[in-house]
Amino acid sequence: MEIVNHAESRVFTPDTLDQNNEVIQEAKLRPQNFDEYIGQKKIVENIEIMAKSATIRNQAMDHALLSGPPGLGKTSLAMLISKILGTQLHMISGPAIEKKGDIAAILTNLSPKDVLFIDEIHRMDVSCEEILYSAMEDYRLDILIGQGPAARTMQIDIVPFTLLGATTRSGLLSNPLRDRFMAHLHFDFYDNMELSTIVENNAKKLGVKLAGDAKVQIAKCARGTPRIANRILRRVRDYALVKNRSEIDVGDVISSLQLMEIDETGLDRMDRKILQVIQEYYGGGPVGIEALCATLSEDRGTIEDVYEPYLLKEGYLLRTSRGRTISEKAKKHLGLTY
């Protein structure tokens, strides 16, 4: 499998370098085949059937929409799909596609049956999205040339391809675009067993020895998210290295979690701050999302995509028509923590 990254010119600042380092580290731990891809059984089953059928038909696989909170394995799955299809994987992020020309250039450069992965597809410009409609449905580009009465559409045929769209917010996708995806695959948080297995496999890749309960402790505090499990594992590895441990025990994990300001239920500083702000500034809620984000000085998208899904799933936060409220469970938790 060859990966073509359609990234525009990059400027490196300490921040982006940090992110870049994170990306490199993450790549090392990415599942290399479906045996290493733990959990999400229904999704994997669907994909395997779609890919096999495409191979038998000798056609491109149907388009699929992958949705769910960050770090649950959408990009990893896209890589595995192109691997089993034996095609190139073209990767681009929605916000990077600014002009119709950008998307047209990518689509006309695909080889037959290639996979085009558009990350954060909900953040793509609407005019670019329209180019995708006929491309997805008829493998054709309809391009408007000129303006006013002299305007005419030009049609260009493109090769059959598979579009994989990834989004943390499928609700923000326009209906025409959503309807053109033949499969809608929704990613759920992982359970502790699955996360334990992921931690165990990745500990081997990193060459660290973990006691059984240490593995379980990492899984318990990973917010149902493999990326967070990997992040904790790497920090635990650092800790063990510095403390010269041959095997990491649960005490080492707890010490590392404390350094990362992650508590015993897996909530981090920002999670607790959200709950605390609702309690202290808004009497426990309800509070509108805009007001909440203003008080937290955080971007609405980050709160809604990154923090809320887990807080909602675990019942710390409740969403009502009048805004966000914290639950009894959250109040109890705050009482314990503060």
Residues 282-311, one symbol each (x = binds Mg ion by CB under 5 A, - = not), give: ------------------------------
> Measured in Å, how far apart are the chain's first and last C-alpha atoms?
51
- Quote the DSSP letter at residue 170: G
Report what 227 binds from Mg ion, ligand ATP, none; CB cut-off 5-8 Å by kind. Answer: ligand ATP
Residue in 258, 265, 251 with CA at minimum distance from that of residue 210 = 251
Per-residue binder mask for Mg ion (CB under 5 A), 17-56, x = binder: ----------------------------------------
Query: By CB neighbour count within 10 A (0-12 exposed, 13-18 middle, 19+ buried), where does 118 fall?
Result: buried
State which residue, 25 or 337, has the beta carbon closest to ligand ATP: 25
Beta pairing partners, 89: 3, 115
Candidates 102, 114, 119, 252; catalytic one: 119
Q: Which of 40, 67, 75, 170 binds Mg ion (CB under 5 A)?
A: 75
| Nearest partner of 4 among 140, 137, 161, judged by Cα | 161
Indicate which residue of 87, 162, 167, 168 is catalytic.
Answer: 168
Kindly list the distances between the CA atom of residue 139 and the CA atoms of 5, 60, 132, in Å, as whole numbers in the listed order: 22, 11, 9
74 in active site: yes
Helix (H) or strand (E) holding 5: strand 3-5
> Looking only at residues 77 through 106 of this chain, which bind ligand ATP when binding is defined by CB under 6 A?
none
Q: If contact means CB under 5 to 8 A according to the sort of partner, which of Mg ion, ligand ATP, none does residue 71 touch?
A: ligand ATP
Q: Quick one: which H or E segment has residue 164?
A: strand 162-167
Does residue 225 touch Mg ion according to CB under 5 A?
no
Looking at the annotation, which residues are catalytic?
A: 74-75, 119, 168, 227
Task: State the residues that interact with ligand ATP by CB under 6 A.
Answer: 26, 29-31, 37-40, 70-76, 119, 168, 198, 226-227, 230
